[in-house]
Amino acid sequence: MPARGRDFASNDYLAMAGDPRLAAAIGAAVARGVPAGSGGSRLLRGNHREHEALEAEAAAWTGAEAALFLSSGYAANVALLATLPQRGDLIVHDALIHASMHEGLRLTRAEAVAVAHNDADAFADACAAWRAAGGRGRIWLAFETLYSMDGDRAPIAELAALAQRHDAVMLIDEAHATGVFGRDGIGLAAGLDGRPDAVVLRTCGKALGVEGALICGPRVAIDFLVNRARPFIFSTAPSPLMAAAVRAAIDLARSDPARRAMLADRCAQAQALLGPLGATATGTQILPLILGDDARAMRVAAAVQAAGFDVRGIRPPTVAAGTARLRLSITLNSSAADLHDLAQALEQALT
Ligand SMILES: Cc1ncc(COP(=O)(O)O)c(C=O)c1O
């Protein structure tokens, strides 16, 4: 279904996708001769100074030693999970990690074990049990900082402490936190960049309003990906124009904290208005309203759509059976008045 109605569905949380400054950055890049296409893989003729300028900017923004730009978060997650952990290693991952991380898990030679969602003790138990059973390799902890369908946050500090105790490396997916949280919009993992045990994925197609993804981490991890990650090596490099646009988006995220503050206020309003209707109090821009039954979720979504709101129902297998829901996403594309209207429409649809 094409986008229709007031936006309570997109990941364009800061309303940056339509910001004229991003279009202007592309226009300026065109004017200085940056080509639309890269013409090949980064390792052949597709490498462009715009890619390198973006990666330098991303490292400076986050404090990571190095960064690598890929064409999507999906490709980046596959690259991370399939390339970094080796045979003999263990990947401990949250049960609710994104499909793209699962795709990487299908390709890894390491062992993998899922643990209960957001349960730092379960992560710790899995690490201890594997070591006790003779596991000798490296442990990798894979998690999102802000879960896309539940809107809740990972116990990041506990997982970071666990990584230190076990000499483990964290593979951190900041897809939904990038731009929205943290100093300069770096995300919820701000402060972990620069550590030797943190590799952070930031997608550029959500709050940053553009597309692609940046893997930020230690130089040794980035170099390893450049030389080994098949989604990076055997794929046409992203458009250099996109690299220029992402650089401008990072600039906006850094220089416009008022936008983040406005979104935070809007999220608090959403919590107050939609909480009484059953939306989970996540404290973030993603509010799931769990209805359980698939047909009911789609019926309520259709009724709210008919009233002029873009709200999507989410069913299994995207979420667990029995937890069909409306995924209410708060963005600056909709006004405070839109939010009040949505609450009214939802109340009617739910009765
Ligand atoms: C948590 C998470 N990681 C990764 C991705 C993939 O990012 P992209 O859309 O850039 O491929 C998504 C996309 O929905 C996501 O929600």
For the chain, give me the number of helices (H) and strands (E)? 12, 12
- List, chain by chain if needed, residues with CB within 6 Å of any ligand 1 atom: 72-74, 77, 98, 100, 144, 148, 173, 175, 203, 205, 213
Do residues 316 and 290 lie in contact, with contact meaning Cβ atoms separated by under 8 Å?
Answer: no
Average pLDDT over residues 228-257: 97
Q: What's the chain's average pLDDT?
A: 97
Print burial letters for 40-77: b (CB count within 10 Å at least 16), e (below 16).
Answer: eebeeebbbebbeebbebbbebbbbbbbbbbbbbbbbb
Average pLDDT over residues 246-275: 96
For residue 173, the SS3 value is strand
Protein residue with its CA nearest to atom 9 in ligand 1: 73
Q: Which residues are catalytic?
A: 11, 98, 144, 148, 173, 176, 206
Q: Is the pLDDT of residue 98 over 70?
A: yes
- 132's enclosing H/E stretch is helix 120-132
Reported confidence tier of residue 351, pLDDT bands at 50, 70, 90: confident
Reported confidence tier of residue 4, pLDDT bands at 50, 70, 90: confident
Ligand 1 center to residue 9 CA distance, Å?
15
Do residues 78 and 107 lie in contact, with contact meaning Cβ atoms separated by under 8 Å?
Answer: yes
3-state helix, strand, coil in the chain (%, to 5): 45, 15, 40
> What's the pLDDT score for residue 293?
93
Q: Is the pLDDT of residue 1 over 90?
A: no
Average pLDDT over residues 80-96: 98
Torsion, CA 327, CA 152, CA 103, CA 224, rounded to 10: 140
pTM recorded for the entire structure: 0.96
Do residues 288 and 300 lie in contact, with contact meaning Cβ atoms separated by under 8 Å?
Answer: no
Average pLDDT over residues 5-29: 97
Q: For the segment 292-321, what is each residue's pLDDT rounded down to a tens digit?
A: 999 999 999 999 999 999 999 999 999 999
Q: Is the pLDDT of residue 3 over 80?
A: no
